[in-house]
Chains A and B, each alone.
Chain A
């Protein structure tokens, strides 16, 4: 079986491996690199649980052919803490009860991070739009939206 060499930055660390044809980025991250923070939910772009940032933009890793990230920077939930300190979004999600089963949480956090990196002080409407591709089934959108806004506010306060 022919394998394709692949090199990219994973949470700031250079990684190199060989992938089978047709392998998606989610499988590379979870099963080859052991970063299980992105989750499989649907494999078809409907749920957002596998959301990662590629060069700073939100992408669905399950729909990303692995070799298309050659030379690019991939960021997952595993990389957003600073040392032992939670990212403001993680802090706000924890304090605001914005997770129940926790399965959509990694995708929600990455979608939210893509927003705050681009628009540090978003409106509520912009937050809703930013997570509109992410499904939460434990009925948690309101706390999630509030947590993203709280994270933005805490950054403003500490800025």
Chain B
């Protein structure tokens, strides 16, 4: 059966088109869906598009930064207000991929992709999902845990907090090809400090499991402690806790587990990668 493309204006129509057809997929920037079509994925017979302008909006005025799911990485990079997300946006693809790939699509990108999501996860990300019963916000962590079942969901926007200070948020993508390549490990750390102690640490890792995950052992090791050498050592020692990396052409699971602590230590202590 040839592919049918359906284009809707209203988000509710998009959501019902997706939920009513198991062989339908939502087209954001095209970097995932078109790739599958090009490889001959016949499980997809309907491609659904949305033209609603709200998917393209960026709202940085509130306590949380809200980014429409259809916003490309190039637009994130053009937005001075979103400077704290620029390292993550810049680490994705080349310019053409950044002109196409969207913030919403990144949530669905399988390892070793999906780097932007790692940054959002460390910044208490929320996902706005349009379902049959309207719009609801869902914690990004929960969304990722059930990602396989979210294929029929329409992501409308993502939101995240602004880092407590410029220094409190750190992002790093480890890749073998310079300047660009798939992720060996992606790390994002939000480590706000108050009174010289870490308070509310959130650490996220990419390519250490099928989706981006929080490193809760690391968060525990940091919480309530000064960000000194011994705390960082304890955090690095806990880095591989709860991870489930896989082998791929970029690195083996063993290698990822071995080096995740090394890169986390460097990130937290401000060393070059």
Using a CB–CB cutoff of 8 Å, the interface residues on chain A facing chain B are 1-2, 4, 20-22, 24, 43-45, 48, 51, 57-60, 62-65, 67-68, 111, 114-115, 128-134
Contacts and interface: CB of A to CB of B under 8 A. Distances in A.
A2 B47 CA distance: 14
Contact residue range for chain B?
20 to 34
B31 A45 contact: yes
A114 B4 CA distance: 32
A24 B34 contact: yes
A68 B100 CA distance: 11
Contact of B94 (A48, A57, A62): A48
Contacts of B93: 45, 133
A133 B2 contact: no
B153 interface: no
Contacts of A43: 35, 38-39
Contacts of B96: 45, 48, 51, 58-60, 111, 133
A111 B96 CA distance: 8
B74 interface: yes
A62 B38 contact: yes
Contact of B30 (A21, A63, A114, A134): A63
A26 to B, nearest CB: 9
Contact of B35 (A1, A21, A44, A134): A44
B232 interface: no
Given A45-B93, A133-B94, A59 B37 contact: no
